[in-house]
Amino acid sequence: MRRPMLTIAAAVTALWLIAIPTGLPSVEDRFVATTQAAETTEGAMCTMPDAAPGIEAIAADAQASQIAIPKRSDAEGGDLPPVRMVVDPYPSFNGVAVDTTNDLVMMSDTNRKSLLVYDRAAGSATSKQAATAKQQIMGPDTGVGFVAGVAMDPAQRELFTVNNDVEDRLVVFDYDARGNVTPKRLLYVPHQSWGIAFAPRRDVMALSVQTPNMYVVFRREATKFDAPIRSVRGPKTAMADPHGIYFDETHNEVVVANHGNFRPGELITSYTAYDARESRQERSGDAFDESARGRFVPSSITVYDGDATGDVAPLRAIHGPTSQIDWPMGVAVDEINNEIVVANNGDNSILIFPRTANGDMQPRRVIRGPLTGIKGPMGVAIAKDEIWVANFGDHTALVFPRLAGGNVAPRRILRNAPAGKETSGFGNPYAVAYDTKRREVLVPN
């Protein structure tokens, strides 16, 4: 997922840190400390406003024992430290999954490149402090990078997450994994895979894939270069830049959230071995349409038969101005109460539709407004009569009663940083440009 963003910032490469034993400074404090050591050079580092307290003492320790800042980068060797940095030392939530068997919730973190697991009841309506995670998986050995979708399998005690724009792989960990650990297994997936829909009864998982406008289904235990068992792809599917995906096993349906950016097959570039194989299959038939162009279509929610394969039309599709769907990210189905829940990123809202909604249909309920705290919603999950919302626009995840609607405060707020800590909005920064007229740095994510 790439979305343009304007900010006075410089791109920063994440520093991988191992888990910190109890009683020592937190992962966030260590991160700030190691970067603040760069202040020994000319200039200074710039953190987000109101950086964590007590950082000076930690920085001194970090400078002495964590990293060595070279004075020069020439024949003596060594890296040249930056003059200053803009960095958000705290996680940014993206995907969310709830395990009601063990009362756990897991969220992906695109800023620090990690997975965080909390008690399902963590957080409160009034707490201003960050909740303590039960475990965090983070570090260079984990294979966790620009992660998006997540899933939890309490039966097999496995944690899943998929890397979106860069690493092109899904990684799996044991339930007790923490720190800088090697994945239990990894699976190479199509470039720009985003969401994960786990179907435990079938023992399969479906992944949404953005640019090729498709979803693919793998065995749960698929590894390395295993091919998907089937895919749904083609113009009849009406998918356009799919993100959120959910496998409703009760009704044998797959639900997909589409941004609306459509690119025809002729314009799809091969990034991975999987993509190249698919391109060869496609291009062995009809000749290229050299006049092919991408286009924008309305954002939508499309629903498919659970056994669908190939270029098939959706069973139903929700779209249009009355639906209010605008850049939908995560999607979930309340299989008991027959409702579809959508994280509507475009207008900072949660939309709830009847499960059988079709066409330009008004939502049954909308959670939106300043009291809700919804800001850049990315992931959504429903469990135990509660709706979970993972915010990307600030350092929170929110929990609402299932029947919530309107401008209402959340039942609980789970913070990954103290209240008031702003976020840089960094997702996957790969370039910077300087606007000399406005004296601003533009960072596309």
DSSP states of 210-232 as a string?
TTTTEEEEEETT--BTPPPSEEE
* Residue 87, pLDDT score: 85
* Residues 301-321, mean pLDDT to the nearest whole number: 97
For the record, the structure tokens of 365 come out as: 């309920």
**pLDDT 10s digits, 151-179:** 999 999 999 999 998 889 999 999 999 99
Q: Is 360 exposed, middle or buried (0-12, 13-18, 19+ CB in 10 A)?
A: middle
**pLDDT 10s digits, 123-137:** 999 999 999 999 999
pLDDT exceeds 70 at position 441? yes
From 129-133, 273-277, 381-385, 434-438, the region with the lowest mean pLDDT: 273-277
Give me the percent of the chain exceeding a pLDDT of 70. Answer: 76
From 10-24, 223-237, 238-252, the region with the lowest mean pLDDT: 10-24
Facing residues of 383 across strands?
386
Average pLDDT for the chain: 83
Beta-carbon contacts of residue 210 (< 8 Å; ≥ 6 apart): 1, 164, 192, 193, 194, 241, 242, 243
Q: How do strand 386-391 and strand 93-99 relate by DSSP bridges? A: unpaired
Q: How many residues does the chain have?
A: 445
Q: Whole-prediction pTM value?
A: 0.81
pLDDT exceeds 70 at position 199? yes
pLDDT exceeds 90 at position 81? no
Q: Which helix (H) or strand (E) holds 256?
A: strand 253-258
Q: Are 134 and 175 in contact (CB under 8 A)?
A: no
**What confidence category does residue 61 fall into, taking pLDDT thresholds of 50, 70 and 90?**
very low
Q: How many alpha carbons lie under 13 Å from residue 291 in its C-beta half-sphere?
A: 0
* Residue 263, pLDDT score: 80
CA-atom Rg of the chain in angstroms: 22
* Residue 267, pLDDT score: 61
**pLDDT 10s digits, 231-281:** 999 999 999 999 999 999 999 999 999 999 988 776 665 556 556 555 544
pLDDT exceeds 90 at position 29? no
Select, from the ranges 62-76, 263-277, 285-299, 369-383, the one with the highest average predicted confidence (pLDDT).
Answer: 369-383
* Residue 287, pLDDT score: 55
CB atoms within 10 A of CB 260: 17
